Structures are given as C-alpha cells and as structure tokens.
Amino acid sequence: MAEVVNLNRARKQRARAARKQRGDENAMRFGRGKAGRALDHALQDRAARALDGHRLEQDHAGDHPARRRSGEERPEE
C-alpha cells in the first residue's frame, strides 16, 4: 500500500522550497542581504567619522593652516 500523505503539509513544503529557490536566485542576482548592507553602512559611517575627527579646522579667515607655507603671514582682515 502507498504511504499516506498529508496534502496540506506537502503543499506547504513545496511552497517553502519554491520560495527558498526564488530567494537564492534573487540573492545571486541582487547581491548582499540586509545584514551585509547594514554592516557596510556602519563601516562607512565609522570611516567618515574617523576622517572628520582628523580634519584640521579652518581658521575664521578661511585660510587652511596646513596649506600655509612656513614664514608666510596670515592675511589681515
């Protein structure tokens, strides 16, 4: 005799398999998942904050102190 199969369970398993296959195809097509994108975003934010933290501040005349040659006077306002 044949094995008794619960049709609802078989239908749901078939649907799950189809969704997983479609998801795998989309992952290959469109790239990384949400967690990977969030990690990239966090790393970019951290790098930007580190870079901004090392920025030399411009003085009020708009003259950047790192670009001024030694011995040059700052322009008077």
Count of H-run helices and E-run strands, the chain? 2, 0
Quick one: average pLDDT of 45-70? 74
Q: What is the pTM of this model?
A: 0.41
Residue 53 CB: number of other CB atoms within 10 A?
A: 7
- Alpha-carbon distances of 41 from 45, 49, 74, rounded to whole Å: 6, 12, 40
Judge whether residue 11 has pLDDT over 60. Answer: yes
Quick one: average pLDDT of 28-40? 88
